[in-house]
Amino acid sequence: MPDDRRGPLVIGALAAAAGAMVFLAAGDVLPVPDKTFGAPRWLAAVLGLGFFFGGSYIVSLVLPTPWMGRLLGAATILTFVTMGALLMTWQALTGGGSGRSFVPSGTGSFVLSRDATRLIVGAFFWIFALLMDAIALIAWVVALRVLLRRQSP
């Protein structure tokens, strides 16, 4: 198989461009109405950054600089872990669920009340929010330690 670098280059460039467009739209540089997001603009901006770093990482795989690939790969992972943590924390703080029962009502079926469903969904989001926040915090500490460590001569 020939060494063809055009595929990763094109896919990476498209992903980076799409991420940049989402980031610019979330920052209101590109005028987009608020109702198209469905989430806070800052959360959409973090998603756009994740795709931008991911696309840049794919492009860096075909470049002859291995340190750039490691740096962009770490930035991509940190962005998506941080975005997941922010998303779950946002869901936990805003109530997360709609409070509707997912079990159809009928004779003989067990249906949770709206309060019980809201409590279960809220507990789900809080558990995963705390878990994702801890993972993101550990990932940031490890990344900063690696970046700030001095290289031996």
CA dihedral 101, 106, 107, 111 (to 10 degrees): 0
Of 115, 132, 5, the C-alpha closest to 78 is 132
Lowest mean pLDDT among 12-21, 31-40, 134-143: 31-40
Of 98, 89, 97, the C-alpha closest to 46 is 89
The predicted pLDDT at position 35 comes to 84
What pLDDT digit, counting tens, does each position of 46-71 carry?
889 989 988 888 888 888 877 777 78
User: Whole-model pTM above 0.85?
Assistant: no
Enumerate the domain spans of the chain: 6-98+112-148
Lowest mean pLDDT among 36-40, 75-79, 105-109, 118-122: 105-109
